[in-house]
């Protein structure tokens, strides 16, 4: 009985409940009845993006179906690793909310949605960027400077300038979102070398300024605040909006690189940064590949760096100018010595710079064999006053002995240092080597022996110290620091060469010892003394 009445009670309760019949999901939605909500323009690319899709068929909304959305790249490229697809279930109203954590890149894209194997809709094309760029554009000086600012897209900006001329260098916040929000604040710095003799700054559109570090000196910075919001203009559909923040007047005397940096006086901002004009004041930072550089060079034919095309290579900063030649500067030189016995070659280098030999004979029968020593004449460290050297980084070049053109044949190379890091192919012509001693073993002798080449001179040829590939410069490390640093860059006057069998540079067949005279001044007749004349020949 108990079971009977229990069953009757359950049945009665069921009769009182509303009857709900779920319509099974359709095999596919109807694209003509379904909708996709795409914005006319994309919001700021670094923020989360939401797209809504509503599924319907002839019977109404479709619940419980997976909706997909895909980012399709039409041109350009997106930042690797970001999500290109999103999925979500449709709710009771048939609505699915699909989310992307921004779309980053320099590309034109559109979005495509589908569900149940049916393509539903396609968005308009959107131009997206990795974010705004802090670009530089250089043009010959004009007045007024702000009124002559560029109005064409950033990708066409000029980043090269000649020497001995005055230029306006415009600072432009380019490739902004086309929503027209604008810029409220900008914080950045600048850097350049001694080649620029005059640099001044003009802010375009009234702004509050907070200069630091003797602005606009190199290493200085500035904070700018536009109370009325600095708005820009849309220069093209492909490149968004750009705003001219101001203009530098620059006059160059020597080759140099003018570049944007973080404001080093503001440690809270490790990158250049700007804030938009939203109530929240969104902060957007410029990475190293998003800031511009202008190159000043003879002839004005060397490009700096324009971040807007998205495919440029950031140039390295130019090395600081080497010190002028003098007896207190480091010299790297070559000495021609006789062939010493095994085990004694490193100790058979000349004891002083006056004993260096830079000229020898050649012989087609292969009997003119020599040890050619790679030597350094150290200088006093500017940091400690200690005379010495811990290492060098050099290249080597010579007239190769080849069939049909006799010259110099390098049989072998032997290092006399503690460590070496030879480049590929060393000691072939136009290759390099980094040669070092430990920090506690500062080399202080008047001539430091880095190593020697065993060579055979068959005919007229030269061998010279040249720049280390791929940097193109010769460097030395002094003994003044707590770690190994190639902190001295040598000029061409401070590196030597030797002559075999009358090999010559210009009219000069004597070779050159930079510890006694600069080696970039080749003259037909060189004043000399009997002592210097004797040192040019192997006895």
Asked if residue 13 belongs to a domain, the reply is no
For residues 142 and 150, what is the distance between their CA atoms, to the nearest angstrom? 12
β-strand partners of 68: 87, 114
Which band of pLDDT confidence, cut at 50, 70 and 90, is reported for residue 6? very low
Is the same domain home to 273 and 213? yes
Asked whether the beta carbons of 77 and 107 are under 8 A apart, the reply is yes
Is the same domain home to 337 and 263? no
CATH number reported for the structural domain that contains residue 242 in this entry? 2.60.40.680
What pTM did the predictor assign?
0.46
Task: Give alpha helix (H) positions in 431-514.
Answer: none
Is the same domain home to 519 and 435? yes
Task: Provide the total of helices (H) and of strands (E) in the chain, helices listed first.
Answer: 2, 35
Asked if residue 284 belongs to a domain, the reply is yes
Is the same domain home to 122 and 140? no
Asked whether the beta carbons of 200 and 246 are under 8 A apart, the reply is no
| Residue given tokens 């909310």 in the structure block | 97
Q: Which of 378, 385, 375, 408 is nearest to 480 (CA)?
A: 385
| Chain length of the chain | 539
Lowest average pLDDT, out of 19-33, 56-70, 137-151, 338-352, goes to: 19-33
For residues 439 and 479, what is the distance between their CA atoms, to the nearest angstrom? 7
Is the same domain home to 442 and 294? no
Which residues are CB-contacts of 137 (< 8 A; sequence separation ≥ 6)?
Answer: 150, 154, 157, 158, 159, 169, 170, 172, 292
Asked if residue 27 belongs to a domain, the reply is no
Asked if residue 315 belongs to a domain, the reply is no
Q: What is the pLDDT of residue 373?
A: 95
DSSP state of 389: B
Is the same domain home to 95 and 152? no
Is the same domain home to 40 and 119? yes
pLDDT exceeds 80 at position 530: no
β-strand partners of 161: 296
Q: What is the pLDDT of residue 87?
A: 94
8 three-state secondary structure: helix
Classify burial at 324, counting beta carbons within 10 Å of its beta carbon; exposed 0-12, middle 13-18, buried 19 or more. exposed
Answer with the one of 255, 284, 300 that is the final residue of a domain.
Answer: 300
Query: What is the average per-residue pLDDT within 216-221?
Result: 89
Give how many domains the chain has, as a whole number. Answer: 3
Answer with the one of 128, 147, 166 that is the final residue of a domain.
Answer: 128
For residues 250 and 295, what is the distance between their CA atoms, to the nearest angstrom? 12
Answer with the one of 106, 128, 150 that is the final residue of a domain.
Answer: 128
Tokens of 531: 């002592």
Which residues are CB-contacts of 321 (< 8 A; sequence separation ≥ 6)?
Answer: 193, 194, 195, 254, 489, 491
409 three-state secondary structure: strand
Q: What is the pLDDT of residue 531?
A: 37
Asked if residue 326 belongs to a domain, the reply is no
Which band of pLDDT confidence, cut at 50, 70 and 90, is reported for residue 163? confident
DSSP state of 377: E
CATH number reported for the structural domain that contains residue 95 in this entry? 2.60.40.10
Asked if residue 378 belongs to a domain, the reply is yes
Q: Where are the beta strands (DSSP E) in 231-328?
A: 233-236, 240-252, 256-261, 272-276, 283-286, 293-296
Is the same domain home to 358 and 229? no
Q: What is the pLDDT of residue 178?
A: 65
For residues 273 and 264, what is the distance between their CA atoms, to the nearest angstrom? 12
Which residues are CB-contacts of 489 (< 8 A; sequence separation ≥ 6)?
Answer: 319, 320, 321, 322, 473, 474, 475
Which phi and psi (to 5°) does residue 256 adopt? -165, 170
Is the same domain home to 187 and 267? yes
Q: What is the pLDDT of residue 188?
A: 94
For residues 206 and 264, what is the distance between their CA atoms, to the nearest angstrom? 24
| CA dist list (Å): 139 to 15, 116, 290, 352 | 86, 57, 21, 53
User: Domain limits at 264?
Assistant: 133-300
Query: In which region does residue 385 sit, left (phi positive, over 0), alpha (psi from -120 to 50) or beta (all else)?
Result: left
DSSP state of 484: -
Lowest average pLDDT, out of 232-241, 280-289, 323-332, goes to: 323-332
Is the same domain home to 167 and 288? yes
For residues 165 and 141, what is the distance between their CA atoms, to the nearest angstrom? 9
Q: What is the pLDDT of residue 468?
A: 86
Is the same domain home to 445 and 506? yes
Is the same domain home to 101 and 140? no
| CA dist list (Å): 302 to 20, 117, 277 | 76, 54, 37
Asked if residue 103 belongs to a domain, the reply is yes
Prior bond of 427 cis (ω within 30°): yes
Asked if residue 102 belongs to a domain, the reply is yes
Q: What is the pLDDT of residue 395?
A: 92
For residues 157 and 160, what is the distance between their CA atoms, to the nearest angstrom? 10
Q: Which of 236, 229, 51 is nearest to 154 (CA)?
A: 236
Q: What is the pLDDT of residue 322?
A: 54
């Amino acid at each position: 009985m108990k079971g009977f009445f229990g069953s009757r009670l359950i049945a009665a309760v069921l009769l009182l409940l509303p009857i709900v019949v779920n319509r099974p999901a359709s095999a596919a939605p109807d694209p003509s009845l379904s909708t996709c909500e795409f914005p006319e323009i994309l919001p700021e690319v670094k923020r989360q993006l939401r797209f809504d899709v509503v599924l319907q068929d002839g019977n109404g909304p479709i619940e419980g179906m997976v909706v997909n959305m895909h980012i399709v790249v039409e041109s350009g490229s997106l930042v690797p690793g970001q999500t290109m697809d999103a999925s979500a279930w449709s709710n009771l109203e048939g609505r699915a909310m699909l989310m992307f954590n921004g779309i980053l890149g320099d590309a034109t894209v559109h979005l495509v949605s589908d569900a149940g194997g049916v393509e539903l809709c396609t968005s308009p094309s959107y131009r997206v960027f990795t974010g705004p760029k802090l670009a530089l554009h250089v043009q010959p000086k004009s007045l007024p400077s702000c009124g002559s600012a560029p109005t064409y897209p950033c990708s066409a900006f000029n980043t090269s300038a000649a020497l001995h001329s005055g230029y306006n260098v415009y600072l432009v916040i380019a490739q902004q979102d086309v929503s027209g929000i604008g810029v409220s604040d900008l914080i950045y710095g600048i850097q350049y070398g001694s080649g620029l003799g005059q640099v001044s700054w003009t802010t375009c559109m009234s702004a509050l300024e907070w200069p630091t570090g003797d602005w606009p000196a190199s290493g200085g910075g500035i904070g700018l605040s536009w109370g009325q919001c600095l708005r820009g203009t849309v220069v093209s559909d492909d490149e968004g909006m750009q705003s001219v923040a101001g203009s530098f007047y620059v006059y160059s005397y020597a080759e140099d690189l003018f570049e944007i940096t973080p404001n080093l006086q503001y440690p809270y901002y490790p990158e250049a940064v700007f804030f938009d004009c939203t109530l929240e004041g969104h902060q957007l930072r410029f990475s190293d590949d998003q800031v511009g550089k202008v190159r000043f060079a003879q002839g004005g034919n060397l490009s700096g760096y324009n971040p807007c095309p998205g495919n440029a290579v950031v140039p390295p900063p130019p090395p600081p100018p080497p010190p002028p030649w003098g007896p207190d500067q480091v010299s790297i030189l070559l000495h021609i010595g006789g062939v010493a016995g095994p085990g004694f070659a490193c100790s058979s280098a000349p004891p002083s710079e006056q004993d260096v030999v830079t000229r020898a004979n050649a012989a087609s029968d292969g009997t003119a064999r020599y040890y050619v020593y790679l030597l350094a004449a150290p200088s006093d460290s500017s940091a400690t006053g200690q005379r010495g050297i811990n290492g060098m980084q050099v290249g080597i070049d010579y007239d190769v002995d080849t069939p049909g053109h006799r010259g110099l044949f390098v049989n072998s190379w032997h290092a006399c240092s503690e460590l070496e890091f030879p480049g590929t192919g060393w000691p072939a012509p136009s290759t390099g080597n980094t040669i070092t001693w430990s920090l506690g073993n500062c080399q202080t002798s008047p001539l430091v022996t880095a190593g020697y080449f065993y060579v055979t001179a068959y005919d007229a040829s030269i061998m010279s110290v040249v720049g280390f590939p791929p940097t193109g410069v010769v460097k030395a490390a002094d003994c003044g620091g707590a770690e190994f640093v190639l902190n001295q860059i040598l000029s061409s006057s401070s590196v030597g060469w030797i002559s075999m069998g009358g090999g010559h540079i210009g009219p000069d067949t004597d070779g050159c010892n930079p510890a006694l005279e600069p080696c970039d001044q080749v003259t037909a007749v060189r004043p000399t003394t009997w002592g210097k004349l004797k040192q040019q020949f192997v006895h």
